[in-house]
Structure 1
């Protein structure tokens, strides 16, 4: 299934998660994972790939703003997008 997303909005969500989210060290040892509003954000070892995930759905953003979703069903995708919106609404308290 092909799902359109505003890649710049996705990058803003990634930045917000890494800025305000809770940081956890990665098992792989080369990067950290950040958590906010049920989403996880991390970078690939090369620094060119970022991933946003909620455990069931993931969005991988590659070099030149290409991206790919991976999800088991539409319900999982819709849940991911709700969390995505929650991050955009998140404000620092």
Structure 2
């Protein structure tokens, strides 16, 4: 994936969702972005239901999409599968940037 994002921005959005969002069962939610923190605080997650993002200790991160496994997606070539995931991730990153600007 060609995702190059600033971890500082991701953590800034996480903090905004955590402090300005509403409490939900598993964390907090601001607009359609949810945040969750591990019990030890070494990993935080942001999600919109289609894409989730884990931000780990040492500022590493990993995106997950709803259709992680290309073999489970019927009638898509591998290229279409990767392009679809990339589009979902780019849309998610855009949402995070917009949230960061707005709050």
Q: TM-score, length-normalised on structure 1? A: 0.81
Q: Which runs of 4+ in 1 moved over 3 A?
A: none
| RMSD of equivalent CA atoms | 1.4
Residue correspondences, number: 85
The alpha-carbon deviation at position 16 of structure 1 amounts to 0.5
Q: Deviations over 1:34-69 (max 9, x none)?
A: 111211111012211000111111110111111111
In structure 2, stretches of 5+ residues that fail to align are 68-84
Bigger radius of gyration, 1 or 2?
2
In structure 1, stretches of 5+ residues that fail to align are 27-32
Any residues of structure 2 matched to 1:28-39 within 5 Å, and which? Answer: 33-39=27-33
Any residues of structure 2 matched to 1:16-55 within 5 Å, and which? Answer: 16-26=16-26, 33-55=27-49
More helix by share: 2
CA distance in structure 1 between the partners assigned to 2:61 and 2:45 by the alignment: 10
